[in-house]
Structure 1
Amino acid sequence: MIKNDLFLRALKGETVSRPPVWMMRQAGRYLPEFMALKEKYDFFTRCRTPELAAEITVQPIRIVKPDAAILFSDILVIPQAMNIDVEMKPGVGPWLPSPVRTAQDVENVRVPEIMETLGYVMDAITLTKEMLEDEVPLIGFAGSPWTILCYAVEGKGSKSFDQAKGFCFSNPEAAHKLLQKITDTTIAYLKQKVAHGVNAVQIFDSWGGMLSPEDYREFSWKYIDQIIEALAPLTEVIVFGKGCWFALPEMAKSKASALGVDWTCSPEKAREFTGGKITLQGNFDPSRLLTPVPQLKNMVWDMIDRFGKDRYMANLGHGILPNIPVDHAKAFIDAVKEYENR
């Protein structure tokens, strides 16, 4: 039995005394304790070593004390398991030496056996659950098929992902075949995460906002919806699409338990677009955490007032930045916790 189940109750739409709070990328680079491990171990070693992944996951629970933990991993472990090489280059970020650019490249991509290729993630879940001792829920996650395709085709991060979009528009048959392979792998992966103990899952569509509403429906949403349909009977599903405010009305009709909102969409509009009947998550601008601490509390309380305390989970509108002081991150968390006693 989870001692602090506020996150799960909000996900299910129950009335709560205050919203739960956690931060995307909370297990990571703004914490000195994380940076100490980064000095010793490269990125994918941290992902692939269950003891390290579990320790990194639990660090923010000890230090800033959010209401949920999110497993330390990366969305790009999926393409790695699918026979696509992925490296993490210092100063560059994700680097794929052999991008997927042709129909034959797509044929070479495999749908893997999850426990053979990603068993280390499941081991990390088991260890993390032991370390959490049922204090808070644990969130598992995956990237959306479209976001994974962006990296697989582009070969690196990008401000526009023109190569990825061009591949989809010039060779839609191959693109859809690749998207389906990623979707099938992601469903199997998330099902294993649930079987190994995560209490909810989040799908990150980091690059969905690169697409027009019509192209989003064709190349992203219909694959995300497949994942939701497969996972919703097993666990709570959160969908976060950065820059995808235009898709919120359609997303709200799905079986997702909650929808993430970035800071470019107001709480009022997010409620309007979703009909007020689904839990929303967000949407504090990560850079706003640099606001002087005395002002942070009022800004956070204003955000909660605008979303409403029920069917709402306080979070950032994207991942926490590496230059955020720990006391500012803690002030954000504490402000949400103090909301009910203001």
Structure 2
Amino acid sequence: MVSTTQDAPLLLRAARGESVDRPPVWMMRQAGRYMKAYRDLREKYPSFRERSEIPEVAIEVSLQPWRAFGPDGVILFSDIVTPMPGMGIDMDIAEGKGPIIHAPLRTQAQIDNLTPLNPDESLPFIKTILKALRQEVGNQATVLGFVGAPWTLAAYAVEGKGSKTYSVIKGMAFSDPTLLHQLLSKFADAIAIYVRYQIDCGAQVVQMFDSWAGQLCPQDYETFALPYQQQVIQQVKETHPDTPFILLVSGSAGVMKQMASSGADTISVDWTVDMAEARAILGPNIGVQGNMDPGVLFGSQNFIRDRIHDTIRKAGNHKHIMNLGHGILPTTPEENAAFFFETVKQYRY
């Protein structure tokens, strides 16, 4: 299902590098706790896995910000660990704490026992959700897929949960790298299968979140994160060369240059890097997304407008998707989120 240039939605055209009259805009975590509609739904479905894996609930959550604010991107409401059970990894997502892996992967036997991902069997709800989102938004918005990157999935799988130090996976990386490389490659193969599945089910652009790769120094990023980002993207591009790929690394200032060689079409830039500097590092052929500090949305409307315009000017009028540098914060006033979207949509190059 490929849109022609004439009827393709704005974000898809910008991600492809086509000429557009304003930057498209969406917001990471745009479906979430800052919206009253989401909090009300969460009371009825307290488990994150319920909200993301029951199709009618996930569809509703994904569409809440689109109905409220009309962003140019509607992203699948999901979590990066969603495919793990399909690989034989027992996990849950604890409210306010994130993923919990019940038996962290730390031995050769555990890694050998991982099963290849078959999304039709283990993730059938994804197809239902993405097809419904495409049908609902038509060409008024771009439907984005959502996956985690190998290093970040491995960090959760080995640590067993989120971490501030990542000492367990770094211990494996530096004392038994062969074991970790096996795990990273298995995750890369599974994620590539999952990305292809999402595209086949309706995703028009896919964002891969390497949330914890910014915890690596550049040398270790090149060893343990970058090759597996490349493995995913290369495999996807072999079968789906025309689907734009966005890569996000949190805290990416130190590895921006390395990210440019990932194969991603667009790099999501956080607020630790000036957008003009990011453009200079990445060069003219790679798109940029971002990179406003989510904290700006607690400022006055004039302040928010000035920061938006500054970001857009620095990004230039080619291959830029306006976004925050990371997810919108839970206590953000909804009216400020609405102002963010409206300000970008009124902008003209």
TM-score by length of 1: 0.95
Q: 2:106 and 2:258 mapped to 1: Cα distance? A: 31
Spell out the pairing of 1:93-172 with structure 2 (5 A cutoff): 93-172=98-177
Contact 2:229/2:262 (<8 A) preserved: no
How far has the Cα of 1:114 moved from its partner? 1.6
Task: Out of 287-296 and 179-188, give the one that drifted further.
Answer: 287-296
- 2:37 is matched with which residue? 33
- 1:5 is matched with which residue? 9
- 1:298 is matched with which residue? 306
- 2:19 is matched with which residue? 15
- 1:315 is matched with which residue? 323
Q: 1:155 and 1:223 mapped to 2: Cα distance? A: 20
- 2:259 is matched with which residue? 251
Q: Which amino acid aligns with 1:247?
A: V
Q: 1:236 and 1:16 mapped to 2: Cα distance? A: 16
How far has the Cα of 1:197 moved from its partner? 1.1
How far has the Cα of 1:15 moved from its partner? 2.3
Any idea what SS the aligned residue of 1:316 has?
coil
Any idea what SS the aligned residue of 1:201 has?
strand
Contact 1:6/1:67 (<8 A) preserved: yes
Q: 2:86 and 2:247 mapped to 1: Cα distance? A: 23
Task: Out of 175-184 and 95-104, give the one that drifted further.
Answer: 95-104
Q: Runs of 4 or more off by more than 6 Å in structure 1?
A: none
Contact 1:147/1:206 (<8 A) preserved: yes
Q: Which amino acid aligns with 1:28?
A: G
Any idea what SS the aligned residue of 1:138 has?
strand
- Say yes or no: does 1:200 pair with 2:208: no
Contact 1:18/1:310 (<8 A) preserved: no
Any idea what SS the aligned residue of 2:295 has?
helix
**Percent of paired sites with the same residue:** 39
Gaps of 5+ in 2: none
- 2:85 is matched with which residue? 80
| RMSD value, Cα | 1.6
Give the length in aligned residue pairs.
341
- 2:28 is matched with which residue? 24
- 2:222 is matched with which residue? 217
How far has the Cα of 1:134 moved from its partner? 3.2
Q: Which amino acid aligns with 2:83?
A: I
Contact 2:17/2:319 (<8 A) preserved: yes
TM-score by length of 2: 0.93
- Say yes or no: does 1:68 pair with 2:73: yes
Gaps of 5+ in 1: none
* Residue from 254, 267, 272 that aligns with 2:275: 267
How far has the Cα of 1:4 moved from its partner? 6.6
- 1:328 is matched with which residue? 336
Any idea what SS the aligned residue of 1:284 has?
coil
Q: 1:4 and 1:301 mapped to 2: Cα distance? A: 25
- Say yes or no: does 1:281 pair with 2:289: yes
Q: 2:141 and 2:308 mapped to 1: Cα distance? A: 22
